[in-house]
Amino acid sequence: TDGGEDDSLDVLLPLRTSGSLPPLFCVAPASGLSWGYAGLLAHLGPDQPVYGLQSPGLAAAERAAGSIEELALRCLDAMRTVQGQGPYRLLGWSAGGVLAHELALRLREEGETVTLLALLDSYLTPPARGDDEETLLAQFAAELGHPEQTGAPDRERLAAWARRADGPLASLSEAAVGRVIDTYLRTSRLLATHRPRVYPGDVHLFVAEAERDAGSPDRGAGPVRSARPYVAGEIVAHGIDARHTGMIAPVSLRRIAGHLAPLLASAVDEPDRP
């Protein structure tokens, strides 16, 4: 594994380091990779620094975390290498939203100010799904955009597809792709046993409205209902015309950034409630 690959797999992933505003930290989904958040840069002002927070264990020399709580602590350590104190702004998609929620809680408990907690179609209580490898690999294949519609690709075929010339993980070595798959499986299983606590502030929740039929009375309600027991403040829902797996596609990030930009501009000094 060369140094360049390890740099792209470090816990802290610099996406834009310049700018005078407090950074926006974007927490990786279950894959552990924050690369997709780079799509925000074109739609947020040049004064807005952006960093990804990735799962320890992706880089060859890193030890994997054994719980969501440990993941949060490792991410906090990485955040503080570029921002020693608040105000903090956090965003996370899917499993990354669960981790961002835990990060925000820990920051508040340490007396820090959190001015933005944004969740992208995250379920704080995950929907009941199997945790067998075949089911999880099928979920990961869908998130990577694998075209196979029936059955689950086995581990070797999924890795080979992801590393093909135009694949989403084409730049990674075979060993690194194996660590990404391991991270997805491990994080998914950690989420199944994670019990969130109540966050005392507000949450902005971006909901994938195309996930259900347009006529369904429950359209988009799942993530909000899932979050309600674990958010003491206001839940501000923003509908995005996308499926869950498309929430960090370029067109979705453009729409999400349209909501984020004014929130980031107004959240420099004003903490979330209560």
Helices and strands (DSSP H and E) totals, the chain: 8, 7
Residue 216's pLDDT is what? 40
- Location of structure tokens 């046993």: 193
Task: Kindly state whether residue 76 falls inside one of the protein's structural domains.
Answer: yes
pLDDT greater than 60 at residue 124: yes
Over residues 245-258, mean pLDDT: 92
Over residues 94-101, mean pLDDT: 95
Report pLDDT digits (tens) over 25-48.
999 999 999 999 999 999 999 999
- Alpha helices of 40-132 — where are they, by DSSP H? 68-79, 95-109
pLDDT greater than 90 at residue 49: yes
pLDDT greater than 70 at residue 152: no
Task: Kindly state whether residue 231 falls inside one of the protein's structural domains.
Answer: yes
Over residues 179-192, mean pLDDT: 89
Residue 107 contacts residue 42 (beta carbons within 8 Å): no
Task: Kindly state whether residue 71 falls inside one of the protein's structural domains.
Answer: yes
Task: Kindly state whether residue 174 falls inside one of the protein's structural domains.
Answer: no
pLDDT greater than 90 at residue 200: yes
pTM (two decimals): 0.89
Task: Kindly state whether residue 169 falls inside one of the protein's structural domains.
Answer: no
Task: Kindly state whether residue 136 falls inside one of the protein's structural domains.
Answer: no
d(CA 122, CA 142): 16
What CATH number does residue 250 fall under?
3.40.50.1820
Q: How many domains does the structure of the chain reveal?
A: 1
Domain limits at 89? 3-126+197-266
pLDDT greater than 60 at residue 150: no
10 Å Cβ neighbour count for 124? Answer: 24
The mean predicted confidence, pLDDT, of the chain is: 86
Task: Kindly state whether residue 166 falls inside one of the protein's structural domains.
Answer: no
Residue 19 CA, distance from chain mean position: 22
Q: Provide CB contacts within 8 A for 50, sequence distance 6+.
A: 15, 16, 23, 24, 26, 37, 40, 41, 44
Q: What is the CA radius of gyration of the chain?
A: 18
pLDDT greater than 50 at residue 2: no
Q: Residue 122: which of 223, 259, 26 has the closest Cα?
A: 223
Task: Kindly state whether residue 39 falls inside one of the protein's structural domains.
Answer: yes
SS3 16: strand
Position 135, amino acid = T
Cα–Cα distances (Å) from 80 to 146, 151, 218, 252, in that order, read 36, 43, 40, 29
